[in-house]
Structure 1
Amino acid sequence: MGSIWQDKGTVTFEEKWPAMRPTVLKLLRQECVSRAEWQDLFWAVHKVCLWDEKGPPKVQKALQDDILDFITHAQARVLDQHEDQALLKAYISEWRKFFQQCNYLPLPFNQLESALAGKTTTSVSKKVQNDDSIVRKLMLDSWNASIFSNIKQRLQDSAMKLVHAERNGEAFDSQLVIGVRESYVNLCSNSGDKLQIYRENFEKAYIEATKSFYRVKAPQYLEANGVQNYMKYAELKLREEEQRGDKYLESFSGSLQNLNECCVEVLVTTFRDTILAECSQMIKNNETDKLQLMFKLMDRVPDGIQPMLNALEEHIVSAGLADMVAAADTITQDSEQYVEKLLDLFQRFSKLVTEAFNEDPRFLTARDKAYKEKGIGNKTQPESKCPELLANYCDMLLRKTPLSKKLTADEIESKLKDVLLVLKYVSNKDVFMRYHKAHLTRRLILDTSADSEKEENMVEWLREVGMPADYVNKLARMFQDIKVSEDLNQQFKETIRTTTKSSVADNLNIKILNAGAWARGSDRVAVSLPMELEDFIPEVEDFYRKKHSGRKLQWHHHMSNGTITFSNNMGRFDLDVTTFQMAVMFAWNQRTHDKISFDNLRLATELPDPELRRTLWSLVAFPKMKRQVLSMSGEVTSPKDFTENTLFWVNQEFAPIKNGKPQKRGKVNLIGRLQLSTEKSKEEDNEGIVQLRILRTQEAIVKILKMRKRISNAQLQTELVEMLKNMFLPSKKLIKEQLEWLIEHKYMKRDDDNINIFIYMA
């Protein structure tokens, strides 16, 4: 027991350090250390720190002296270099060797770590983390205090000079700058912020150097090369600086973001107004590549995009309206050309947004806004031509016409969807639906649809693009009525055959339709029908009464048509005619060669004056016929020129002309565009649209107030437009009038303290 205590007493720092020091110096110099020397150092440190009470501080002090001595020699070797690159190479070489040894030298001194931390046990339960090692910190702090702090500014300046040279196209070893950055990062002793020294020195210097470089270069380049070339230069330099920052800055420190903001400021923001001044002309010239470059640059700048959006809107308005006005005389009379022109403009502007601005939602919104508010969707009266022409174009595609015959099913579908695309920007959608419904009625009654499946698809497409449900539901009901009517028609024919044993019913085709979905009551026109038709009316009514007790039939003869056989000196022809035309033609049934006055024809047909004039005009001036069915006395240029005494007679020379020769047989369609509304009902339709808009506006105001209870005028108008925009855009005048009406009738009232606040009254 006594010998053990004696051994402890003989283990002192002074005794062991001379043997330990050579191994420590070898480790500092990165010289080869044998396994025995490595193990002896571990054991010697262990014994001195454990058994010599004053040993640990002495070991620490001796270690520090040797580290400082090593660093002093390293500093001398570095400072021997006077040229910037040589200095950096020397420093980085010395630093990297030293930093590598910061990982190895602390390992044998674990017991020193424990002793200095106040642990006296011989066993260490948990190894001290290398990064928190006292010896490692001693090494790094010594390097920082002795060499780095003295030449830090010179290192930094040399590194920035090299980066500057690289920006000017000179080549050098990038590891020199990277090595300097690494020492800034690794030498920080602040455990709470390891990047403090790096951020306050290297990053700050790098960003300042970048600013200084481009503050000189950028204006020079812009002045020498112009805006369009400068944009390419700015985009190139932004990419270059991003790549350079990846290489020279700490990626996870926020440095790259700071660098990017700095570059955008000096390369783009400074010249924002100068660059944007070119935007309008580029859009006008359709210079998509240059616009795309401008878009990329301005998207980095606060409020850089808004002037570009304004320029695009102004261009669409001015260029679009200019094109439409230039072709106004033609396109307002030809629905096909009108819609093709609209689509051409829309596709042109859409292509510009796609190619120049990558379909950025902000530019798509600007396109839509310009196209809707200033272009085709301007706030016009209900009689605006645009919705009517769009509906006419749809009719040409859905009806059996030369246009629909030359197109494939896919092409027709594509064009219909194009119309729906344009329809999105039309304010008066209720007007479009009025015309579309009239055309659909005509197609279904005359059975002139090119494709029944497309007809039904169109109804669903209208629903999908947000057309009002009540409008679309009426169209869907029309198809249901036609299918039901076909079954009723078949049953009626079978009933007639059974009761009369006659085959005449085979030539009849009755359509029993829901009046609410199809027509107005005022559309009904009195007419004296030929006996052949008149005889069947009681039969039809009796048949229907038995099927549906309590329902009443109303006959809409202006929607009917038929085929009659017509004979004259030229031959025998089948004429497809409206019921009104048939009534007029039958006036000559018993007196083929007589001349009958306008007044007598009115008595014979019982047609109202406007309808008789329109019907006679279709028989004396049918545009597609070289020879007309009827002839007349006097020279007239329109139906209004007919007088009470104008005479009409059957044209005995009438015949269809084929290859320049009159035919003796043939079928002629005189129906043309079957008139489905009377002059009176046209006026009522326009008045009806106005009245419906009034009711819809009142209904929407009450609905909003009921939900909100209390609302400002501005907010009410905003919500009202949002609610009604799928049908029409209510004018400020309309809104004001309906607000006053609702206040007057006690649906709502103004706030006593603020007249711009409305309150709902239950």
Structure 2
Amino acid sequence: RFWTSLVKMATLLKESEKSTVTFEDKWPCMRPTVLRLLRQEPVTRAQWHDLFWTVHKVCLWDEKGALKIKAALQDDILNFITGVQVRVLAHQEDQALLKAYISEWRKFFQQCNYLPLPFNQLESALHGKTSTSVCKKLHTEHSVVGKLMLDSWNSSIFSNIKQRLQDSAMKLVAAERNGEAFDSQLVIGVRESYVNLCSNPNDKLLIYRQNFEQAYIEATSTFYRVKAPEYLNANGVQNYMRYAETKLREEELRGLKYLESSSNSSKNLKECCVEVLVTAFKDTILAECKQMIRDNETEKLRLMFSLLDRVPGGVVPMLAALEEHIVSAGLADMLAAADCITQDSEQYVEKLLDLFQCFSRLVCEAFKDDPRFLTARDKAYKQVVDDTTVFKLELPSRNPRMTGQKTQPESKCPELLANYCDLLLRKTPLSKKLTAEEIEAKLRDVLLVLKYVSSKDVFMRYHKAHLTRRLILDTSADSEKEENMVEWLREVGMPADYVNKLARMFQDIKVSDDLNQQFKEQMRATRGSVADNLHLKILNAGAWARGGDRVQVSLPLQLEDFIPEVEEFYKTKHSGRKLQWHHHMSNGTITFANNLGKYDLDVTTFQMAVLFAWNQRQDQRISFDNLRLATELPDPELRRTLWSVVSFPKMKRQVLLYEPEVMASKDFTENTSFWVNQEFAPIKNGKAQKRGKVNLIGRLQLSTEKTREVDNEGIIQLRILRTQEAIVKILKMRKRISNAQLQTELVEMMKNMFLPSKKLIKEQIEWLIEHKYMKRDEDSINVFIYMA
């Protein structure tokens, strides 16, 4: 009974309280505090707490209390805003209007954070939400009262004067662009009101973007559409570029100050400025590009690049102009120096390097080493290097034995690069005057140029031939540099099989030196000191020689006797191996005595064979025909060898004399007679020397009359085999591939050796189809299938 009575008393108490708490009774008490808050007048702690409690009671006990509070608040807020509008519009001058508006807005916006706090209960009352969800909501978006305040400001004062506010703000920005000073906070304040006014939780910058940002960008565009053409016409293109660059930087900084940082405003402004300052005059600016590149005006080009790089596709014409300049200027310089560089591989390579450094400097200073311009430089420089105007290497067609064959002209650059490497690595006047660091730097430069050479296989061929000559003749200036060069070639991407062969050559030389020492020790027991005059090089044929190099010759008896002994010695060291004698790679020193004195002559084996024909008959004349019988040399080699001892360019007196006189070795006849020059002597300071050493080898060593032809033919044959090998590799991996894809992958695979022509690729595809390595798809003629 006690508990029942207590519940009844509580119910009666609630019903009586409920009947006494109504909106109409409480609002007159609440309204003065609300108005004081709107006007930012002081409110006591008791008034503040009472407002919270009264709102809570009205929402709790008056069924329609929440709606009535919201409606009453809306009326008072609108009345307050109407008064603000009157005060703001009382100012006619733009800056005064802005100042008044911003002052009123900032006070009002501050109250948007405080006034809604006592009315949090409206959320739960209007939407049936718990107090916890209300608290969470307050942290993420505006409350009912906050939204009400912003929407009221937006629909009344802001809607009425926003155009005037925008116009006034844009006038101030235009005045700043013209150099006038003003309080930037006026524009910033307008921007802030646009940003904070939107109560849309999904897009809080909607009002700002649709009004302020759009007006700002349109005003910017309008301003420069008038000013930019005027400046261009008055000051010319080059001054205009400086103007445009300056204005773009200014507008970027101005945008950071006046536009909202959390939106895409800065990006949109930048696009607008680029459009009106650069894109609109792109063709006019680009018209100056070619002349600037020709005149090497790097500062102006850097400015042009900075401007046009902001325009989509703006630098493409600049890339084309740079490529055109590099090709034309590079070839013009090469042609102008053709008389010098065609005679000297050193000057040719130095010229190429000078051009590369010049063009690289241009790209660095004018275009800041931008990857696109570096690619354009590389592409154009490659054309200069591969050009055949100055130097042309004639490679035979696929079947070089056909009569009336056509040749494939290619750049001689790779051959000349190999020659230049030889000058640096061999004991030459050039290598002697340079330090080790300078030689290394120049070799690195050669590798730099080599990167742009299409026919790297040609360089490989000639570089290997020069290395062979240096190693066999012991003419390397620095063996460490030789081995380093091999590793550098590996680093720049030369084919591994080629680099490995070069490395094997150095290993062979070391093994050969050991064998030579052992042979000498064995020979001393039987031949005495004669063994010290003999030096053998036993080398691996796979890494060094080619079968076509071997030439028949009748050796002097003094050498012929050693051959069986060497072969017998080698059999004791290695079973199952056979020695092949390459006499054209050999050389020696003979003693020549005549009426004036005694001289040591460094000669090739062929020269030795020819000179020994007079060993027993020094005063006789011997015909060309008899010399051929005595030496057993092929006709071309005999002519070349004879010419080297009757017309050696460095000798004033030749070892042999002949008659009748001819202009070249090809004019020797069967009856041309030769005899020993008894007056031969090296001349020094105008006097004949009685003693001395003369080198007659020159550049004859290690090459035969057919070598160049064989080399060039070998290059083509190796290209055919490499192409076939690559096609089969690709097909084996892909199993099925289209013609276009095959050609793309083939070029990618072969680019470190040479670029196969479409004709070569087509011929090798047909050959592989014919020999059942691959076949065409029955349904598509341009699809190939691998045949296992």
Using the size of structure 2 for normalisation, the TM-score is 0.90
Distance 1:221 1:119, change over 3 A: closer
Separation (CA, whole Å) in 1 of partners of 2:710 and 2:137: 95
Displacement of 1:615: 1.9
- The partner residue of 2:351 within 330, 341, 353 is 341
Displacement of 1:486: 0.7
1:396 aligns with 2:423: yes
Q: Which residue matches 2:532?
A: 506
Q: Which residue matches 1:646?
A: 672
Q: Which residue matches 1:255?
A: 265
Separation (CA, whole Å) in 2 of partners of 1:489 and 1:608: 30
Q: Which residue matches 1:293?
A: 303
Residue type of the partner of 2:448?
A: L
DSSP-derived class of the 2:702 partner: coil
How many pairs does the alignment contain? 760
Among all aligned residue pairs of Structure 1 and Structure 2, give the percentage whose two residues are the same amino acid: 82
2:587 and 2:602 in contact (8 A); partners too: yes
After superposition, what is the alpha-carbon deviation per residue over 1:252-287, rounded to whole angstroms, capped at 9, x for unaligned?
222222222222222222222222222222222222
Residue type of the partner of 1:471?
A: Y
Displacement of 1:706: 3.6
Displacement of 1:494: 1.4
Displacement of 1:409: 1.6
- The partner residue of 1:27 within 20, 37, 43 is 37
Q: Which residue matches 2:293?
A: 283
2:385 and 2:453 in contact (8 A); partners too: no
Separation (CA, whole Å) in 2 of partners of 1:380 and 1:702: 29
Q: How does 1:36-435 map to 2 (within 5 A)?
A: 36-51=46-61, 55-118=65-128, 126=135, 129=138, 131-373=141-383, 375-376=385-386, 381-382=394-395, 384-435=411-462
After superposition, what is the alpha-carbon deviation per residue over 1:631-665, rounded to whole angstroms, capped at 9, x for unaligned?
33443332223333433333343333344444333
After superposition, what is the alpha-carbon deviation per residue over 1:206-236, rounded to whole angstroms, capped at 9, x for unaligned?
2221221222222222222222222222222
1:110 and 1:128 in contact (8 A); partners too: no
Distance 1:124 1:10, change over 3 A: farther
1:320 and 1:375 in contact (8 A); partners too: no
Deviates further, 410-419 or 719-728: 719-728
Q: Which residue matches 2:523?
A: 496
Displacement of 1:18: 4.3
1:667 aligns with 2:676: no
Displacement of 1:83: 1.0
Distance 1:573 1:381, change over 3 A: closer
1:447 aligns with 2:474: yes
After superposition, what is the alpha-carbon deviation per residue over 1:437-481, rounded to whole angstroms, capped at 9, x for unaligned?
111111001111111111112122222222233322222221111
Q: Which residue matches 2:403?
A: none
Displacement of 1:505: 0.9
Q: Which residue matches 2:6?
A: none
- The partner residue of 1:613 within 631, 634, 639 is 639
Residue type of the partner of 1:641?
A: D
Separation (CA, whole Å) in 2 of partners of 1:328 and 1:126: 87
Displacement of 1:557: 1.1
DSSP-derived class of the 2:113 partner: coil
Displacement of 1:98: 0.8
DSSP-derived class of the 2:182 partner: coil
1:579 aligns with 2:605: yes
Separation (CA, whole Å) in 2 of partners of 1:68 and 1:25: 12
Residue type of the partner of 1:487?
A: D
Separation (CA, whole Å) in 2 of partners of 1:89 and 1:722: 69
Unaligned runs of 5+ residues in structure 2 are 1-8, 396-409
Q: Which residue matches 2:596?
A: 570
After superposition, what is the alpha-carbon deviation per residue over 1:721-750, rounded to whole angstroms, capped at 9, x for unaligned?
222222222223323333333333344444
Distance 1:4 1:609, change over 3 A: same
Separation (CA, whole Å) in 2 of partners of 1:368 and 1:580: 46
Q: How does 1:571-720 map to 2 (within 5 A)?
A: 571-720=597-746
Separation (CA, whole Å) in 1 of partners of 2:574 and 2:133: 104
Deviates further, 575-584 or 505-514: 575-584
After superposition, what is the alpha-carbon deviation per residue over 1:90-129, rounded to whole angstroms, capped at 9, x for unaligned?
00010001111111222233344444444699x9994751
Residue type of the partner of 1:431?
A: V
Q: Which residue matches 2:499?
A: 472
Separation (CA, whole Å) in 2 of partners of 1:395 and 1:125: 87
Deviates further, 482-491 or 668-677: 668-677
Distance 1:118 1:751, change over 3 A: closer
1:50 and 1:120 in contact (8 A); partners too: no
DSSP-derived class of the 2:598 partner: strand
2:387 and 2:411 in contact (8 A); partners too: no
Residue type of the partner of 2:682?
A: P
Separation (CA, whole Å) in 2 of partners of 1:271 and 1:66: 57
Displacement of 1:618: 1.9
Distance 1:469 1:113, change over 3 A: closer
1:46 and 1:111 in contact (8 A); partners too: yes
Residue type of the partner of 1:529?
A: L
1:561 and 1:577 in contact (8 A); partners too: yes
Displacement of 1:436: 1.0
Distance 1:16 1:732, change over 3 A: closer
Displacement of 1:82: 0.5
DSSP-derived class of the 1:566 partner: strand
Separation (CA, whole Å) in 2 of partners of 1:478 and 1:4: 114
Deviates further, 307-316 or 374-383: 374-383
Separation (CA, whole Å) in 2 of partners of 1:297 and 1:318: 26
Displacement of 1:394: 0.7
Deviates further, 624-633 or 488-497: 624-633
Deviates further, 103-112 or 316-325: 103-112
Separation (CA, whole Å) in 1 of partners of 2:734 and 2:95: 75
Deviates further, 395-404 or 46-55: 46-55
Residue type of the partner of 1:238?
A: L
Distance 1:479 1:720, change over 3 A: same
Residue type of the partner of 1:219?
A: P
Q: Which residue matches 2:402?
A: none
Displacement of 1:15: 5.0
After superposition, what is the alpha-carbon deviation per residue over 1:386-436, rounded to whole angstroms, capped at 9, x for unaligned?
222111101001101111112222221221121122122222222221111
1:377 and 1:425 in contact (8 A); partners too: no
Residue type of the partner of 1:614?
A: R
Unaligned runs of 5+ residues in structure 1 are none
Separation (CA, whole Å) in 2 of partners of 1:375 and 1:687: 22
Separation (CA, whole Å) in 2 of partners of 1:242 and 1:120: 48
Residue type of the partner of 1:186?
A: N
2:385 and 2:413 in contact (8 A); partners too: no
1:214 and 1:266 in contact (8 A); partners too: yes
Separation (CA, whole Å) in 2 of partners of 1:628 and 1:34: 126
- The partner residue of 1:540 within 543, 553, 566 is 566
Displacement of 1:377: 5.3
DSSP-derived class of the 2:718 partner: helix
2:386 and 2:411 in contact (8 A); partners too: no
Deviates further, 267-276 or 658-667: 658-667
Distance 1:615 1:103, change over 3 A: same
Displacement of 1:71: 1.5
Residue type of the partner of 2:515?
A: L
1:739 aligns with 2:765: yes
Distance 1:387 1:124, change over 3 A: closer
Separation (CA, whole Å) in 2 of partners of 1:512 and 1:129: 94
1:387 and 1:428 in contact (8 A); partners too: yes
Using the size of structure 1 for normalisation, the TM-score is 0.93
Distance 1:704 1:47, change over 3 A: closer
DSSP-derived class of the 1:186 partner: helix
2:21 and 2:61 in contact (8 A); partners too: yes
Separation (CA, whole Å) in 2 of partners of 1:691 and 1:374: 26
DSSP-derived class of the 1:667 partner: strand
